[in-house]
Structure 1
Amino acid sequence: MRRLLGAVAVLGLLAVGACDRREDHARPHSGGQTAVFRHDLSGDVSGEYRPAAADEAAVASLFIGQKAAFAAWEGGDRSAPPLILTLNGPQGEERVLPEFYRVTDASVRMTGATPHGPLELEARIDQDALATARRNLGDLSVVISGTVQSGGRRAPVALTAWNGD
């Protein structure tokens, strides 16, 4: 009986530990612990997004990869990041790779590191605007909106789907 109770207790602790790792609000910790990467996409939100108004925008672009890129990254393949945030900085553009992300059909949350300190992006994806932008090439409707915070500064983000030159 003691063995059975011990086994049930161990299985319960393992189940609770597995639930804790899947929390959406989990953040990476310094000190070598593994970061949390998670996507839950039913549709395709992949593409490059650029500022609706280029003048004085903190973000130069946001690249979102396809579902396969997210699956590969989450599986440990770090050769092609599924998210790349490019910032406009004093010395030019700075690419920021994810240390944490949670991407769904409706939102993008990401943290990363810059020379100025940690970065956090929290944004909403407007599926109707994305569908319109894909139907009407050149449509400049805001598809992704939110905020980016880096180096103690917080700035608004308003991005359109970019279809190339």
Structure 2
Amino acid sequence: MRSSWVVVAVMALLSLAACERRDAATPTSTPQATFRHRLSDDISGDYRPKGEGPIQAVASLFIGQDEAFAAWESGSRASPPLILSLTGPQGEARVLPDAYVVTDDRVQMRGSAPGLGPVELSARIDQGALATARRNLGDQTPVVTGTVSVNGRPTPFTLSWWGGD
């Protein structure tokens, strides 16, 4: 009887260790080498800053529709579902995703562009502000807030949904 308790205790410890190992492998920041989206709402559009920003600032963030994410994740590279444009001393650079995780209220992306090195974006989408901006046809309500890191140097940004000219 006592040996069965020892077996149960050992099995419980092994189960806990396996869970901890799996949790440690779960990414908590920018995705490593995965393309994943989970959207229940349409967050597509072009997001732009309201005013001028610092060097290497976000000029725009394009977020495609659900179909564009699905196509990219299935291997089609014809039309990227995320495009980050940065401005800097050398002009504008277009960053395409090497990895991303996108949900209704979060965008995490890793990419690179010639002359920039590694670029990471981590942002939050305010669904209420997005609904207001769309209702008012791009009223400059801040919708996306986050940080973009270029070569490990983080820069905060705020973007509004852009309704076009």
TM-score bracket relative to the smaller structure: 0.7 to 0.9
Q: Do the aligned residues in 2 keep the contact of 1:24 with 1:102 (CA within 8 Å)?
A: no
Q: Percent identity of the aligned residues? A: 59
> TM-score when scaled to structure 1?
0.79
Q: Following the alignment from structure 2 to structure 1, what is the Cα–Cα distance between the partners of residues 26 and 154?
A: 25
Q: Following the alignment from structure 1 to structure 2, what is the Cα–Cα distance between the partners of residues 136 and 23?
A: 39
Partner of 1:14: none
Q: Following the alignment from structure 2 to structure 1, what is the Cα–Cα distance between the partners of residues 88 and 110?
A: 17
Partner of 2:110: 111
- 1:23 CA drift (Å): 4.6
Change (3 A) 1:130 1:67: same
Partner of 2:131: 131
Partner of 1:77: 76
Q: Which residue identity lines up with residue 109 of structure 2 in the other structure?
A: M
Partner of 1:157: 157
Moved over 4 A (4+): 22-26
Local SS of the residue matching 2:139:
coil
Partner of 1:32: none
Partner of 2:44: 46
Q: Do the aligned residues in 1 keep the contact of 2:31 with 2:101 (CA within 8 Å)?
A: no
Q: Do the aligned residues in 2 keep the contact of 1:100 with 1:111 (CA within 8 Å)?
A: yes
Change (3 A) 1:23 1:68: farther
- 1:65 CA drift (Å): 0.2
Aligned-residue CA RMSD (Å): 2.1
- 1:24 CA drift (Å): 5.0
Q: Following the alignment from structure 1 to structure 2, what is the Cα–Cα distance between the partners of residues 98 and 143?
A: 21
In our comparison, the structure showing a higher alpha carbon Rg is: 2
Q: Following the alignment from structure 1 to structure 2, what is the Cα–Cα distance between the partners of residues 159 and 129?
A: 11
Local SS of the residue matching 2:164:
coil
Task: Tell which deviates more after alignment, 59-68 or 112-121.
Answer: 112-121
Q: Which residue identity lines up with residue 53 of structure 1 in the other structure?
A: G
- 1:55 CA drift (Å): 4.0
Q: How many residues align?
A: 141
- 1:56 CA drift (Å): 3.0
- 1:27 CA drift (Å): 3.6
- 1:77 CA drift (Å): 0.1
- 1:153 CA drift (Å): 1.8
> TM-score when scaled to structure 2?
0.79
- 1:90 CA drift (Å): 1.2
Local SS of the residue matching 1:99:
strand
Q: Any unmatched runs of 5+ in structure 1?
A: 1-18, 29-34
Q: Which residue identity lines up with residue 121 of structure 1 in the other structure?
A: L
